[in-house]
Amino acid sequence: MRKIEQDFLNNKANTEQLKALRKHVNASDDAQLGADIQQQWMQEDLDTSEVDTDILKKIWYRVENQTRGGHRIHSLLWKAIQVAAVFLIPLFMFTTYYFYRQKSAYENGEVTFTTDKGEQACVVLPDGSKVRLNELTTLRYNTTAFNQYRREVIFDGQGYFEIHKDAKHPLVISSDRLSIKVLGTIFNLTTHRNSSQASLELSEGSVDFSHIASGRVVHMSPGQRAVLNKQTGQFAVSMMQEDFDYYTAWNRKELVFRNTPLTAVFKELEQTYSVSIKCNPRVKLCEQFTGTMASNNLQENLEILETSFHLKATKYGKNILITTAK
């Protein structure tokens, strides 16, 4: 790994090395990363007096683009990465957050942000609006047209939107078979291309939620939740049965359950941690659980369920067997 890190700093790392470095950083704890950063920093004799802070805001996008695109990063960027290493490396953490404000440097084309499994991100749009992306989410917008002609983003996944008000330039969110028009508001949106449903929970402001093929439009008010069947174009709109924080628990790295049957709890854990959970027939899956768990600590979550329902969880790699405790 030390050789890969050195190749990274010397502009010699290839695509596979970049992926390996990212995997290593994601798997490292804060103490280990801190030691690595300090050691690398002390070894470098760099003049940082002329560093432009705007460059640092663009580095993550460039690194991510080069990792996915299979090309090496230009020398100027590598030099910036050397100078900014103490800020950069934490951005690769398992629950990474990165902030990016688009400048005029990208005059033509689009900017794309993508989160992988287990990652989250916060994107700052050119108008100051913020979009927090959950894992496996993509957001894209045109750097030239945004603000000048219209505010528009293309979105797939789950996101928490805090949109600045601009009556002359409503924000339009385009996704699979749907469109959302926003003036200024806060809402949670879930729409995956491989899912037949999309949902939106509105906290503040108002939005127009549209199904493109049917032309149906729902005007939403604060406190409402809309679920769209993307195949039929039918909307189900109601007041939120839970508070807004319940639907945005992912944004706080939480799993929230309210009178949830154990069978649904285990399914949620399977999806969150990419594991397979099998239960002994004696386990009463109809029993209900109410509580809040961290979404980044499987062992702790299993211990909570063991204590609450007198169960025993045995792990075999990615497989977990749930039995009744003796």
Q: Which of 130, 70, 68 is nearest to 100 (CA)?
A: 130
Categorize the per-residue pLDDT at 40 as very low, low, confident or very high, splitting at 50, 70 and 90: low
* pLDDT value of position 241: 86
Cβ atoms of 201 and 187 within 8 Å: the answer is: yes
- Whichever domain contains 206, its CATH number is 2.60.120.1440
* pLDDT value of position 75: 47
* pLDDT value of position 78: 47
**85 and 100, same structural domain?**
no
266 pLDDT above the threshold of 90:
yes
* pLDDT value of position 63: 53
Query: pLDDT tens digit string along 273-301?
Result: 999 999 999 999 999 999 999 998 999 99
Residues 6+ apart with CB under 8 A from 295: 249, 250, 253, 254, 255, 272
**305 and 219, same structural domain?**
no
Once rounded to an integer, what is the mean pLDDT over residues 215-232? Answer: 97
Q: Which of 26, 182, 178, 6 is nearest to 78 (CA)?
A: 6
19 pLDDT above the threshold of 80:
no
What backbone phi and psi angles, to 5 degrees, belong to 320? -130, 130
Domain end call among 92, 124, 140: 92
* pLDDT value of position 103: 39
**208 and 294, same structural domain?**
no
**238 and 268, same structural domain?**
no
Domain that residue 114 falls in: 95-244
- Whichever domain contains 290, its CATH number is 3.55.50.30
Q: Count of domains in the chain?
A: 3
Write the DSSP symbol of residue 89: G
Half-sphere exposure of 16 (CA within 13 A, CB side): 0
As separate numbers, helices (DSSP H) first and strands (DSSP E) second, the chain gives: 9, 18
Please tell me the distance from the alpha carbon of residue 36 to that of residue 51, in angstroms, as a whole number. Answer: 22
* pTM metric for this prediction: 0.66
65 pLDDT above the threshold of 90:
no
Once rounded to an integer, what is the mean pLDDT over residues 212-237? Answer: 97
Query: pLDDT tens digit string along 96-150?
Result: 433 333 333 344 578 999 998 888 999 999 999 999 999 999 999 998 888 777 8
Query: pLDDT tens digit string along 68-102?
Result: 544 444 444 444 454 454 444 444 443 343 333 33
**75 and 3, same structural domain?**
yes
Query: pLDDT tens digit string along 177-212?
Result: 999 999 889 999 999 999 999 999 999 999 999 999
Query: pLDDT tens digit string along 302-324?
Result: 999 999 999 999 999 999 999 99
Q: Which residue has the higher pLDDT, 8 or 236?
A: 236
Domain end call among 244, 273, 307: 244
**197 and 102, same structural domain?**
yes
Strand pairing partners for 92? none
**122 and 88, same structural domain?**
no
Phi-psi region of 70 (alpha: psi -120 to 50; beta: other; left: phi over 0): left
Residues 6+ apart with CB under 8 A from 76: none
Strand pairing partners for 313? 322
Domain end call among 202, 217, 244: 244
